Amino acid sequence: MKFTILFLVIFSSSGNSSPSCGEDPLISNLKMHSMNEDTCTPRRTTYPTHSNDLVDYMIHNVRSLIKRAGDDLANPEDYPAHYSAKDGEEFDFIVVGAGSAGSVVANRLTEVEGWKVLLVEAGGNPTKTSEVPGLFGTLQNTNLDWQYRAGQEENLFHGFINKSCSWSRGKVLGGSSTINYMNYVRGNPRDYDSWAAAGNEGWSYENVLPYFRKSEDLRVPEILATEDVGKYHGTGGYLQVESWVDVDTSLHGFIEVFKKAMADLGLPFNPDCNGKSQSGFTKLHATLRGSKRCSTAKAFLSSTKDRNNLKVSKHSLVTKILIDKKSSTAYGVELVKNEDNVIQVRAKKEVILSAGSINSPQLLMLSGVGPRQHLSDLGLPVIQDLPVGENLQDHPLMLGLVLTFNYSTSTFPDSPDVSMFDFLMNRSSSLAEIGSISYASFLNTLKGVDYPDIEMYQIHAEKNYSQSLLNFLNTLSLKENIVKEFIHINEQAYTVILLASLLRPYSRGKILLENSDPKKYPKLFSGYLSDRRDIDTFLRFYDFIDNLIETDPLKSMDAKLYEISLPNCKIHQFQSPEYRECSMRHLISTSHHQSGTCKMGPLQDSGAVVDPTLKVRGIKSLRVVDASVMPN
């Protein structure tokens, strides 16, 4: 086990020519882990005479250091102050939702000093916990999370409690960028080119790449040193992108073997999945600033907190977009403050929806923009008949594959307290990283096609070290018998759970209102596996894993494939295509990438809600700018 060591150096004489470490006796004489005496000589310090007084003095100062470091996490002063909007108050723009899109839009609009902007957010400031990368899994099902659930769908989610799947969405400044895994993946160039090919002018990869570069502040030395870095990456932008720190070296041996196995199957190591090619085995980059989370709130709002033309109304729930029926023009929003204080705020130029792929369609439908029959059934007025809430898509996540290995790291984590101390002082503990899920494999299950349809992650657990598995499994709400089987496998050997995310699903779900109450969550239908082509892609992934464990590198570690035994699937031959499809339907989950519910499309696209400039069809002065507009 690694321990934190405090070196105390007390000098009894002076006269050194080296520069002083500073005035604070603790900072000058106390170094965490190591001391560079060549560059920094502590100044002479007088301490209390009695050793017990000296220890008390040191403990007091260590506590002070920890408090200062802790206070630096999610400091409220880093974000715009709360503004209490007044009933009838008028702004040029009202932006609904301070998430991954809204934070950027609010920043850009307020660059124009003459424009007054109100940004409305249902949540509050990020918490200290959200700043610590290694604690990302603890943020789900908290007050930072809307805690949506999809479920009650025929022949899906049989392995989950209440037959439902947790869909976490951020309810906080920064939205889901404040509670996600922080891995920075832009999407495949061919995704954007397909949008443009469908008639969405201005959305090709060539069109959007300059904006990726503009927003980025890349801090990855090995990528910055490449010849074509400027073609794909930017520096000096608001969003800082770093490498994951490499504190826990216990995975290195396994990763090297796995890297060779993937190369044997034609997927060599790719140092930059956001560069020339996405395919291959890679260590992902992350939205971090100094090894702390860099959410879009930190990136794009902290830099605007002193702009007089930006006001941020926190803990404010928008319940309706105000639309003039005669002119079909949006002119403001209705919002609730402090649970029961309802006010209306007006927009002179535009209302911009950036509430996310669930909340944005919900708001549109509550405001009279949506499928005519559905709104009429709920007694809601219909201002514009549009397919809002349709075309829901996600990256379904398959959980049922487990590999075991004759492998041991012979290391165990530090205690949580020691890890937190090291993180606060040096960003040098396991809390500064997210472990094995910082690695990913982008592969196409159809050989010879350089357009990945699967992204594969790994969850590692040392033999008989169930706590690390439980920390992950408990976020999924799996049934107890299934959790026990994962744990039983781990009791026998070093365990790797394979997570396969379907990158280009054909299946579509939908969102419907429960009723006309804006505080009532909508009904979410995932539609997972409703298109046979998605099942076939996952079955080809099973074939890929069958081949992977037969590679010499994995054979050298005695790799074995386990598939979770499911009683309801025993009518099929174990590991047959029929059994595997049954397993999918039990254990399919989410990558938390919901999109498409306010689809963007050209005029001739009957399934579109917004045009390529993101204006809502048939409604003036209203746009949607979040992931709900993504066509596919």
Query: Among all chains, which residue has been given the structure tokens 């990763």?
Result: 255
Sign of CA dihedral 59, 61, 66, 71: positive
Sign of CA dihedral 17, 18, 23, 24: negative
Chain centroid to CA 69 = 25
Contacts of 517 (CB under 8 A, 6+ apart): none
**352, 348, 353, 313: which is closest to 331 by C-alpha?**
348
Query: Among all chains, which residue has been given the structure tokens 């018998």?
Result: 481
Instruction: Please tell me the distance from the alpha carbon of residue 395 to that of residue 286, in angstroms, as a whole number.
Output: 19
Instruction: Please tell me the distance from the alpha carbon of residue 553 to that of residue 9, in angstroms, as a whole number.
Output: 48
Beta strand 560-563 pairing with 523-525: unpaired
Q: Count the neighbouring beta carbons within 10 Å of the beta carbon of residue 282.
A: 24
Instruction: Please tell me the distance from the alpha carbon of residue 241 to that of residue 293, in angstroms, as a whole number.
Output: 10
At 497, which helix (H) or strand (E)? Answer: strand 494-502
483 is in an annotated binding site: no
**268, 288, 286: which is closest to 278 by C-alpha?**
268
Contact 150, 525 (CB under 8 A): yes
Residue 620, phi then psi, degrees to nearest 5? -80, 150
Instruction: Please tell me the distance from the alpha carbon of residue 406 to that of residue 191, in angstroms, as a whole number.
Output: 40
DSSP string, 564-600: ---GGGTTS-TTSHHHHHHHHHHHEEE-S--B-TT-B
Which CA distances in Å does 156 have to 23, 302, 578?
64, 42, 15
Contact 285, 242 (CB under 8 A): yes
- Given the residues 158, 285, 460, 593, select the one marked as catalytic: 593
Quote the tokens at residue 310. 């930006």
402 is in an annotated binding site: no
For residues 228-262, b (16+ Cβ closer than 10 Å) or e, as one string? ebeebbbeebbbbbbbbbebbebbeebbebbbbbb
Which CA distances in Å does 229 have to 222, 232, 234, 438?
10, 6, 8, 21
Which CA distances in Å does 580 have to 107, 400, 477, 498, 565?
47, 9, 21, 14, 10
- Tell me whether residue 593 is one of the annotated catalytic residues: yes
Which CA distances in Å does 426 have to 1, 3, 34, 180, 375?
18, 13, 11, 23, 55
**125, 126, 4, 16: which is closest to 65 by C-alpha?**
4
Q: Count the neighbouring beta carbons within 10 Å of the beta carbon of residue 203.
A: 22
**Residues annotated as binding site for FAD?**
172, 318
What are the residue numbers of the active site?
593
